[in-house]
Amino acid sequence: MNAPRPELIIEAGRAEQQYWRDLWHFRELFYILAWRDIVVRYKQTVIGVAWAVIRPFLTIVVFTLVFNRVAKLEAPGDIPYALFVSAAIIPWQFFASAFSEASSSLLSNSGLISKVYFPRLIIPAGSVITSLVDFALTLAMLAVLMLWYGFAPDWRILFLPLFILQAFAAALGAGLFLCALNVKYRDFRYVVPFIVQFGLYVSPVGFGSERVPQYLRWFYDLNPLVGVIEGFRWACLKGASPLEARTLVSSLTVTIVLCAFGIWYFRKTEKTFADVI
Amino acid sequence: MSDAIITVENLGKCYRLQHQQRERYTTLRDLITNRVKSLFGTQNSEPGTQNSEEDFWALKDVSFEIKQGEVVGIIGRNGAGKSTLLKILSRITEPTKGRITLRGRVASLLEVGTGFHPELTGRENIFLNGAILGMTRAEIRSKFDEIVAFAEVEKFLDTPVKRYSSGMYVRLAFAVAAHLEPEILVVDEVLAVGDAEFQKKCLGRMEAVASQGRTVLFVSHNMATVRALCSRAILMKGGSVGCEGNVQNLTDMYGAVEIEDTETENIPAGAHRPGNTGQAVFQTIRICNITGAKTSQLYLGQPFRLTLTLEATSDIREAVIEVGLVASDGTHVTCSRTLDGGAEPFPLPRGRHEVTLEINAFLLPRRYSFALILYHFDGHIIDWVDQVQSLTVANIAEDSSDTYRFWPSIRGYVRPEGVWHLPFPQKGARVK
């Protein structure tokens, strides 16, 4: 009876102070929601998880046919074009799916939000993590492709996790911002597919960054995905595709700013989600 | 120091109402239009339309204390602030003012089966829902068998819940919730689901929780349940605490409050009408308890009065009215006719008339509805309405002396006047 009982105080602005502690406290929920998303995604599909690999694989095939065979684009050095494209498509698809899943995550979990308390950050962060699982599978596919072409990466591959982290941060930041906006302004659910489609053209997926005219370069480098994709190529393809320092710095800066801004905006609007959704 | 486990002080919650919009969320278009309008100043600012935003206090100055082990019912009409209070207690939304101190682990149950995913199996959903309600995986694992037994879904554990019947779904969902073991349990009207038998089981479970010294906050419209479960009640009225205290007095008062807004007594145009010649129609039906108050709920054993109005468009020479009582499972329990006891048919002149029927049947706890038939003595139906008005008979007598707890499905519908002769003394036998 005298054992100290946990005391919880609810008042305006209080959740703010306990936020990060709560986030830790609710970690089990975080795992289980991520697990749910993964399990549900491939339920009642005939080939199940294979979809995670088939989609990027077909994209790679199409890109190779269109850009390499038809448009006669070449990869720098003696890298097979298919590998050159894969090293870009794989991080790009991770970003695209993580970002769009995260942006719609709050709305598709509106039932939870209006009925149970937990730090809302769990939901979009969980969907980014879920996309990471598909991403791991596509990385395995990349390894198989490399084997097929008899291409062995060198020490640079050790830096790959850093670029994965950058892709993760970019997807999380953008996803948090858009999902928070999506709760209040439903317009943004039309904006997201547009951003994803548009992003594919302004990121170096089918081409290498060196083809971008110099006078546009500073602007082009602001795209966080430029750093991610060029980084991937550099790490996976023995540096055959050069990674320029200014690209890395500017896209990394944008990523950090984007991620911080996403978290800040999300936290700012989070309190009202249950009232608005 | 007080031994209060929940202390609520001057709690207030303010919502901003935007009058022009119907949806709660805005679209960018609205935002832009509003900004542009305000940029271009004042074309739109006649005194009435200017403030399209208004503060609405869903809760104001709510203060109360709840001690450990108390089971408190929160009652009140729709819009009295009950749900807002629950949402704040369960931290879904923040209060605008005031504070709540909770001394213990809180679990809240605002809905049964929150987060259930139709594609997942029963087993998976138990873990998912448990985690959502705040249980750790170890806790769920240790209670897993109990939950499954309670829900009676052993055979379907590995079937996706989308293939469950709605009854099974609700049972499973409630079973998870029922095995939460927090110090404070906050429950919304989630018991209003499932079949009657399962409801009983849930109530039993709630009583068990309460008897273990846990604190339960229970929000409900169902007076009988509140009375059966709670020791104290808080009556919410217009966003603040109207009254608090003894559950008996308050539920009586709530009954009085409730009368003002019980559902309409008009028979809806869309009512099921197996037959109508147009010569006359039943228009309204009203149920009153013995004190003459309009109601849709009766305590066990209460007689009631049914008032019908009917409008005849032509004179009917030999009319008969029959009222059938139909249980919610579709069984026609009994009926009462104007011919009962050998009475003659009556002449029904043109115009609007009110007829009253006093019924003194000892109905067992269930939901009932009525079938109203007006016909010629020769058997020719003039108007026949099915399934109108609903009447709930509680499982407890008004003075709590008489209750029904188990097996409602095998007990039938009415209680005969039986007299038991026992060869041993019986305490508390009723004098009738």
What ipTM is given for this predicted complex? 0.81
The minimum CA-CA distance between A185 and chain B, rounded to whole Å, is: 5
Full DSSP string of B132-200: HTT--HHHHHHHHHHHHHHHT-GGGTTSBGGGS-HHHHHHHHHHHHHT---SEEEE-STTS-S-HHHHH
Check if the beta carbon of residue A167 is closer than 8 Å to that of residue A94: yes
pLDDT of residue A180: 92
Tokens of B378: 């020769």
Quick check: A10 and B102 CB within 8 A? yes
Instruction: Kindly give the pairing relationship between strand B184-187 and strand B215-219.
Output: parallel
- pLDDT category at B28 given cuts 50, 70, 90 is confident
| Lowest mean pLDDT, pick from A16-25, A111-120, A174-183 | A16-25
Q: Choose the closest CB to B115 out of A111, A186, A274.
A: A111
- How far is the C-alpha of B326 from the C-alpha of B334, rounded, in Å? 7
- How far is the C-alpha of A219 from the C-alpha of A26, rounded, in Å? 41
- Domain residue limits, chain B: 4-31+52-259, 272-393
Q: Select from A1, A2, A16, A36 the residue whose CB has the most chain B CBs within 10 Å, as the one to mutate to test that interface.
A: A36
Check if the beta carbon of residue A135 is closer than 8 Å to that of residue A94: yes
- How far is the C-alpha of B284 from the C-alpha of B271, rounded, in Å? 12
pLDDT of residue B194: 55
Residue whose token pair is 């320092």: A245
- pLDDT category at B220 given cuts 50, 70, 90 is confident
Question: What's the mean pLDDT in A148-172?
Answer: 91
Quick check: A10 and B108 CB within 8 A? no
CATH superfamily entry for domain B272-393 = abc- transporter (atp binding component) like domain (2.70.50.60)
Angstrom CA distances, B368 to A67, B189, B287, stand at 72, 21, 12
The minimum CA-CA distance between A40 and chain B, rounded to whole Å, is: 6
Show which residues on chain A lie within 8 Å of chain B, measured between beta carbons.
5-15, 28-29, 32-33, 36, 39-40, 43-44, 109, 111-118, 183-188, 271, 274-277
Quick check: B31 and A14 CB within 8 A? no
Strand partners, B246: B232
- B115: which chain A residues are within 8 Å (Cβ-Cβ)? 109, 111-112, 116
pLDDT of residue A160: 92
Give the three-class secondary structure for A62. helix
Quick check: B104 and A6 CB within 8 A? yes
pLDDT of residue B30: 73
Q: Select from B25, B110, B133 the residue whose CB has the most chain A CBs within 10 Å, as the one to mutate to test that interface.
A: B25
The minimum CA-CA distance between B39 and chain A, rounded to whole Å, is: 21
Quick check: B92 and A114 CB within 8 A? yes
pLDDT of residue A166: 94
What's the one-letter identity of residue A62? V
- How far is the C-alpha of B151 from the C-alpha of B160, rounded, in Å? 15
Quick check: A36 and B128 CB within 8 A? yes
What angle (nearest 5°) sits at the alpha carbon of residue A84, between those of residues A78 and A88? 160
Q: Choose the closest CB to A15 out of B91, B103, B104.
A: B91
- How far is the C-alpha of B299 from the C-alpha of B395, rounded, in Å? 7
- A1: which chain B residues are within 8 Å (Cβ-Cβ)? none
Tokens of B43: 């074309």
Quick check: B25 and A183 CB within 8 A? yes
Q: What is the pLDDT of residues A48-103, one digit of tens each?
A: 788 888 989 999 999 999 888 888 888 777 788 889 999 999 999 999 999 999 99
Residue whose token pair is 């099915």: B386
Q: Which of B384, B279, B292 is nearest to B335 (CA)?
A: B384
Q: Choose the closest CB to A6 out of B15, B105, B128.
A: B105
**B 175-214 residues with CB below 8 A of A?**
183
**B 63-122 residues with CB below 8 A of A?**
87-106, 108, 110-111, 114-115, 117, 119-120
pLDDT of residue A275: 80
What's the one-letter identity of residue A93? Q
- pLDDT category at B192 given cuts 50, 70, 90 is low
For A38, the closest chain B residue by CA position comes to: B120
- pLDDT category at A3 given cuts 50, 70, 90 is very low
**Residue B301 pLDDT > 60:** yes
Higher pLDDT, A153 or A165: A165
Question: What's the mean pLDDT in A147-160?
Answer: 89
B32 interfaces chain A, CB cutoff of 8 Å: no
- Domain residue limits, chain A: 18-276
Half-sphere exposure of B229 (CA within 13 A, CB side): 31
**Residue A176 pLDDT > 90:** yes
- B90: which chain A residues are within 8 Å (Cβ-Cβ)? 116-117
Quick check: B131 and A6 CB within 8 A? no
- How far is the C-alpha of A49 from the C-alpha of A43, rounded, in Å? 9
- Tell me which fold the domain B4-31+52-259 belongs to: Rossmann fold (3.40.50)
Which regions of B231-331 does DSSP assign to beta strands (E)?
Answer: 232-237, 240-246, 272-276, 280-288, 297-298, 304-312, 316-327
The minimum CA-CA distance between B119 and chain A, rounded to whole Å, is: 6
For A2, the closest chain B residue by CA position comes to: B3
- How far is the C-alpha of B317 from the C-alpha of A185, rounded, in Å? 66
Task: Count CB pairs under 8 A between chains A and B.
Answer: 117
Quick check: B29 and A115 CB within 8 A? no
pLDDT of residue A163: 93
Question: What's the mean pLDDT in B241-260?
Answer: 65
Query: What average pLDDT does the structure give for chain B?
Result: 80
Residue B18: alpha-carbon gap to chain centroid = 30
**Residue B5 pLDDT > 90:** no
